[in-house]
């Protein structure tokens, strides 16, 4: 099964992987900017997300293999690969497994370490949506607001809502599997995994996902890595500070 994607522009292949509960649409604005600068941008929906297929299997190994299948089918070699959060973990797994097929690697606000489960509130909120009773996006947001206080996070999650037909909403994500396999989101890279190619880690200054203590681990797995910080940005650094994020990526790519 092939991953769903949006392809923009012509030039050097540049694949972008979204985070947990995200989708390719989250990266459209930046994708257009990269496309205007000589890249053919592939905004990919990972399995159980967006418009890609649903599967009971969900791990970084299978997601990296999904990406290899996608690249094989599209004839992509020597890609620039950018991943955010969960997508960053998939990108790291792809890099250490299929490293000879990457020209540059960019990892946004995630480290190669283990993270304890921390998405329970969001998953509980999504599980509380009863689509036999919800007839509008407003009603869905009211339910989500009981669990998720930050409006920005609610709007991000609401992107998963779509009309299955005239009378019924549904979710694009495979909620049962993602809830069941949520522990797999936090796993770290294997101890002996190494990618020696050019790598940029970008951290959000206000985010708690990557800190100074992660530097030795990053450099162990990615010996050529540079680590940069966007001050004033949280975990969704590309959405909060898009200009700074874009400039940092382009400087690295040039």
Catalytic site includes residue 151: no
Report the distance separating Cα 115 and Cα 127, nearest Å.
23
**199 and 102, same domain (yes or no):** yes
**90 and 149, same domain (yes or no):** no
**202 and 233, same domain (yes or no):** yes
**204 and 176, same domain (yes or no):** no
pLDDT digits (tens, 9 = 90+) for 104-151: 999 999 999 999 988 888 999 999 999 999 989 999 999 999 999 988
pLDDT digits (tens, 9 = 90+) for 36-65: 999 999 999 999 999 999 999 999 999 999
Catalytic residue among 18, 84, 235, 238: 235
Report the distance separating Cα 62 and Cα 87, nearest Å.
13
Catalytic residue among 5, 52, 85, 207: 85
Catalytic site includes residue 85: yes
**99 and 157, same domain (yes or no):** no
Domain limits for position 161: 120-180
**130 and 242, same domain (yes or no):** no
Q: How far is CA 220 from CA 44, 174, 225, 238, in A?
A: 28, 34, 9, 26
Measured in degrees and rounded to the nearest 5, phi and psi for residue 215 equal -60, -50
**109 and 45, same domain (yes or no):** yes
**58 and 160, same domain (yes or no):** no
**11 and 92, same domain (yes or no):** yes
SS3 235: coil
Domain endpoint, select from 138, 156, 180:
180
What whole-number percentage of the chain has pLDDT above 90?
93
Measured in degrees and rounded to the nearest 5, phi and psi for residue 216 equal -60, -40
> Is pTM beyond 0.75 here?
yes
Provide the number of structural domains found in the chain.
2
pLDDT digits (tens, 9 = 90+) for 13-22: 999 999 999 9
């Amino acid at each position: 099964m092939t991953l769903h994607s949006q392809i923009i522009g012509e030039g050097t292949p540049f694949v972008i992987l979204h985070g947990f509960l995200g989708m390719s649409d989250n990266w459209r604005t930046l994708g257009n900017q990269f496309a205007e600068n000589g890249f053919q941008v592939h905004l990919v929906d990972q399995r159980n997300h967006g418009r890609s297929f649903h599967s009971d299997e969900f791990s970084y190994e299978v997601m990296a293999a999904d990406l290899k299948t996608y690249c094989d089918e599209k004839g992509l070699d020597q890609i620039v690969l950018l991943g955010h959060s969960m997508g960053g973990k998939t990108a790291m797994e792809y890099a250490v497994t299929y490293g000879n097929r990457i020209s540059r690697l960019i990892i946004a606000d995630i480290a190669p370490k283990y993270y304890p489960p921390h998405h329970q509130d969001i998953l509980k909120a999504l599980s509380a949506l009863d689509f036999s009773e919800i007839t509008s996006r407003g009603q869905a947001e009211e339910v989500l607001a009981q669990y998720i206080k930050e409006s920005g996070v609610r709007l991000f999650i609401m992107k998963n809502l779509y009309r299955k037909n005239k009378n019924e909403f549904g979710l694009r994500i495979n909620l049962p599997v993602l809830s069941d396999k949520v522990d797999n989101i936090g796993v770290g890279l294997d101890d002996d995994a190494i990618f020696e190619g050019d790598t940029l880690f970008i951290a959000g200054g206000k985010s708690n996902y990557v800190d100074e203590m992660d530097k030795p681990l990053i450099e162990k797995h990615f010996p050529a890595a540079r680590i940069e910080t966007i001050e004033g940005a949280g975990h969704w650094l590309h959405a909060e500070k898009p200009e700074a994020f874009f400039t940092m990526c382009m400087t690295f790519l040039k």
